Structure 1
Amino acid sequence: MKTTLSRFTALVCAWLFCAGGAHAQDTLRVLLEGHSTSDSIKAMLPEFEKATGIKVQAEIVPYADLTSKALLAFSSKSGRYDVVMDDWVHGVGYASAGYIAPLDPLMKADAGFDRADFVKSYADTLRYKDRYYGVPVYGESTFLMYRKDLFAQYGIAVPTTFDQLLAAAKTLKEKSGGHMAGITLRGGQGIHNTFSWAAFLWGYGGQWIKDGKSAVDSPEAIEATKAYVNILKNYGPIGAANFGWQENRLVFQQGKAGMIIDSTVNGGYNEDARESTVVGKVGYAPVPAQPGSHPGGSSALQVHGLYLASASKHQQAAWQFISWATNKQTQMKSVEINPNAGVSSLSAINSEAFVRKYGAFKDGMLAALKNGNPNYLPTVPQATILINNTGIALSQALAGTLSAEDAMAAANRQNDKALAR
């Protein structure tokens, strides 16, 4: 412990020297996403404050409220938040609007900052016009998680196509007498249903944008929508149309669904005996795809970064916080504090603690990250608008108020208007 503290103190000294003198009286306001990563950072804040003299007021809000809260602060240019955490889907919009500052000079001046320690695909994602605008604090891909005990009992092969996924979901529900959902997916309007649906979109050979135009009404996208609606309505759990990430993972962890497609970080919760009833019973496999679709396209690559607000009056201190919160020592400790399989540090991923806790799915996670699709969700400044429009259409298709064709056609028109701005 003394050795770890000495390393931490030495790094802090390097940050203080290289940052050009952040002041001990600085108080930072940091907006964080409701996530195990944020909980770990908050738990370790007293160490950072004691070593630097910098006070940190950390505000943790649900993901659904995060972006609107950040945008309100950014657009007012109030400097309300010095550091904001969000995924790059929204981060690219912040960068294009000038709300967040490029970090290249700060990275270069910081002797304690080790870019090579980050998962390369994570670090490379947080770039806009050849400049880094964020440091990855956690990331994830997606995989198919399935009850390997039930697959063996019912003689089900691990699905590699969406047709096979549908058949497996049907078997699981019927063999359980209807007491178990065949599969659970996110259905909540907005980022959640689009996140689940995007696996079908790419897996059926579709894409969000083609030749600068929205493509969510293509034949492939419509087939993907029909498949998503069909499997969720017929073999999903009751209430799935309102599920976000948490509701979705809890259904699977509680043994109420035989399969789930969701984030690789879910593996940490599946294997946590404190809250899961399926420990040791879960298999991990690539997300299915139809023959001829984009190779690896149906698996996500999502990166959540820490961004420095352009309007911050404490930019040197804010960088110190970002550098500390993402360094290998902090991330290695975070693995021990909470279920945190989404760490972005290679040292943390390869640590003894990570292997001990998450060895059951580590290889599957790394394979998913290697093959993850960085365009799984749109990466244009209008991304939030595209996701919202498409999320509304998916909710209408799920509710049956519009056909898949009509719903996606309406979304496509709205998306094209947004892209033309």
Structure 2
Amino acid sequence: MKRSMLFLTAALGLVALSGAQAATITIATVNNPDMVTMQKLTPEFNKVYPDITVKWVVLPENELRQKVTLDVASGAGSFDVATVGAYEVPIWAKNGWLDPLTPMFAKNPTIAKSYNVNDIIPGVRTALSQNGNLYAVPFYAESSMTFYNKDLFKKAGLTMPANPTWQQIQGFAAKIHNPSGGVYGICLRGLPGWGENAALFTTMVNTFGGRWFDQNWQAQLNTPAWKNTLTFYVDTLKKYGPPGATSNGFTENLTLMSQGKCGMWVDATVAAGFLSDPTSSKIVNTVGFANAPTGPGTPRGSHWYWSWNLAIPKSSKQEDAAFKFITWATSQDYIALVAKTKGSWASVPPGTRTSTYNNPAYKKAAGAFSSLVLNAINTADVTKATKDPVPYTGIQYVAIPEFQALGTQVGQYIAGALSGQTSIDQALQQAQAAATKVAKDGKYQK
């Protein structure tokens, strides 16, 4: 009897183990601060799902894009969870590269109920959906805005308007630029990349009255609007920016700004939380916030729309485990966990959930910027980003598959002009040729 009971107990143990469905998932993500926090909180995920082992591949933004795109497009299956942007999701969904998440929520009613997809900000949810299916969940969403050091402004007798112009920004930079004192008037993205310098630069082009293509897909990169923008950008950074600006992307400028070395910085709204975090920022008590600058052409397209999202590639062999991770990492509970871990609600991943902006604790902690950020996200219109009509959508990018390569190529030409390797006219001629080739080779021109 005892012997048969031992066999039965062993058998039940094997059944329990097999039911646990132990799995290993590999997650590819960008080395932004919010994602670094996500990685550090892996032990908290394992408290909920002890049978899922998580492996991380954390890369700089440009490298992440290249590796993940190649892997997902080829079906190599190296990644079970991919961090993808608002640009990629609809294109990859259309190509059949991503697993639709809506059926997974239907199969997991308990997760669906606690997750509450309808709590995701409507515009963000729409951007991640195709034909009624959700293809990714947002880790954080952002627009762009102006950050400035209030102490430096006060010393210079300056007042930042709520809606500054680029001309005003340049004037302020001239007055607070003090490199011998370790302070640069302004920091802007100079690192080449379609999601780096080209993103910021395209918002500038928009407000200077420019566009990438006209309605007939004729490239517009050698127009006066583009020349005026590039001349202004190069002039501003050469006179009032830090040295080696072509090496500075989001992460590098965040470090400079948080250390008090930049008088102003125009970049992603997600940085508001980082600059308000006393564990990483020296300017918590002196950082000010304003809307993204507008140019002389139009207020349209001055602030971008972006979200970093978690998606499951079609080539993943661990869809169930991957689904559990992405719903954990983008849930209301995760946001609360970050607030507890960081010691401040101002440090949570922003821009994704209505409940975050309705939360009294978040309103109190992020009161200086929360409404400004939410308004920027809600008013960023990807269908009306330029003064003149265009055949594409997107504010800081052109929503075609070829733009990832084109934007990076043009970003290199912009950096060449900034570094002095080429003239502004040469850079624009090269950019025009690259955009024309894309329009022709992609058969966009009729």
- Is the shorter-chain TM-score for this pair beyond 0.5, marking a shared fold? yes
Partner of residue 142, structure 1: 144
For 1:67-86, what per-residue CA distance to the aligned partner results, in whole angstroms no more than 9, with x for missing partners?
A: 12212322442222111012
Bigger mean CA deviation after superposition, 297-306 or 203-212: 203-212
Partner of residue 352, structure 2: 344
In the TM superposition, residue 260 of structure 1 has moved relative to its aligned partner by 0.6
Confirm or deny that 1:127 pairs with 2:129. Answer: yes
Which of 35, 38, 41 in structure 1 is aligned with 2:38? 41
2-structure distance, mates of 1:298, 1:404: 22
Confirm or deny that 1:91 pairs with 2:89. Answer: yes
Bigger mean CA deviation after superposition, 304-313 or 372-381: 372-381
1-structure distance, mates of 2:93, 2:61: 19
2-structure distance, mates of 1:162, 1:40: 34
Partner of residue 376, structure 2: 368
Bigger mean CA deviation after superposition, 374-383 or 231-240: 374-383
State the one-letter code of the partner of 1:332: A
- 8 Å CA contact 1:90–1:383 kept in 2: the answer is no
- Partner SS state of residue 148, structure 2: strand
Partner of residue 114, structure 1: 116
For 1:190-237, what per-residue CA distance to the aligned partner results, in whole angstroms no more than 9, with x for missing partners?
A: 132112212311121222333234333332122111111110111101
- 8 Å CA contact 2:294–2:302 kept in 1: the answer is yes
Partner of residue 73, structure 1: 71
Confirm or deny that 1:101 pairs with 2:104. Answer: no
- 8 Å CA contact 2:222–2:429 kept in 1: the answer is yes
In structure 2, the CA distance between the partners of 1:406 and 1:78, relative to structure 1 (3 Å rule), is: same
- Partner SS state of residue 60, structure 1: strand
- Partner SS state of residue 354, structure 1: helix
2-structure distance, mates of 1:32, 1:128: 23
Partner of residue 21, structure 2: 24
2-structure distance, mates of 1:32, 1:22: 30
For 1:130-176, what per-residue CA distance to the aligned partner results, in whole angstroms no more than 9, with x for missing partners?
A: 643211111111111112232233222325211111111111126x8
In the TM superposition, residue 341 of structure 1 has moved relative to its aligned partner by 4.3
For 1:37-57, what per-residue CA distance to the aligned partner results, in whole angstroms no more than 9, with x for missing partners?
A: 323333333343343433322
- 8 Å CA contact 2:351–2:377 kept in 1: the answer is no
Confirm or deny that 1:403 pairs with 2:391. Answer: no
- 8 Å CA contact 1:389–1:415 kept in 2: the answer is no
Partner of residue 186, structure 1: 189
For 1:319-341, what per-residue CA distance to the aligned partner results, in whole angstroms no more than 9, with x for missing partners?
A: 22222221111122123334334
- 8 Å CA contact 1:172–1:182 kept in 2: the answer is yes
TM-score, reference length from structure 2: 0.82
2-structure distance, mates of 1:177, 1:319: 52
- 8 Å CA contact 2:172–2:185 kept in 1: the answer is yes
Unaligned runs of 5+ in 2: 1-17, 383-393
State the one-letter code of the partner of 2:127: T
1-structure distance, mates of 2:116, 2:270: 23
Which of 387, 411, 417 in structure 1 is aligned with 2:437? 417
In the TM superposition, residue 291 of structure 1 has moved relative to its aligned partner by 4.0
2-structure distance, mates of 1:94, 1:394: 28
In the TM superposition, residue 372 of structure 1 has moved relative to its aligned partner by 2.2
2-structure distance, mates of 1:102, 1:146: 41
In structure 2, the CA distance between the partners of 1:129 and 1:272, relative to structure 1 (3 Å rule), is: same
Instruction: Map residues 196-211 of structure 1 onto 2, 5 A cutoff.
Output: 196-211=200-215
- Aligned positions, number: 399
1-structure distance, mates of 2:339, 2:206: 32
- 8 Å CA contact 1:341–1:354 kept in 2: the answer is no
1-structure distance, mates of 2:212, 2:137: 26
In the TM superposition, residue 102 of structure 1 has moved relative to its aligned partner by 2.7
Which of 76, 82, 97 in structure 1 is aligned with 2:80? 82
1-structure distance, mates of 2:328, 2:349: 19
In structure 2, the CA distance between the partners of 1:178 and 1:58, relative to structure 1 (3 Å rule), is: closer
Bigger mean CA deviation after superposition, 271-280 or 330-339: 330-339
In the TM superposition, residue 188 of structure 1 has moved relative to its aligned partner by 0.9
Bigger mean CA deviation after superposition, 148-157 or 361-370: 148-157
- 8 Å CA contact 2:140–2:309 kept in 1: the answer is yes
1-structure distance, mates of 2:276, 2:262: 16
1-structure distance, mates of 2:375, 2:351: 15
Partner of residue 219, structure 1: 224
2-structure distance, mates of 1:399, 1:39: 31
- 8 Å CA contact 1:89–1:384 kept in 2: the answer is no
Partner of residue 17, structure 1: none
- Partner SS state of residue 177, structure 2: helix
Confirm or deny that 1:152 pairs with 2:171. Answer: no
- Partner SS state of residue 377, structure 1: coil
Unaligned runs of 5+ in 1: 1-20
- 8 Å CA contact 1:146–1:259 kept in 2: the answer is yes
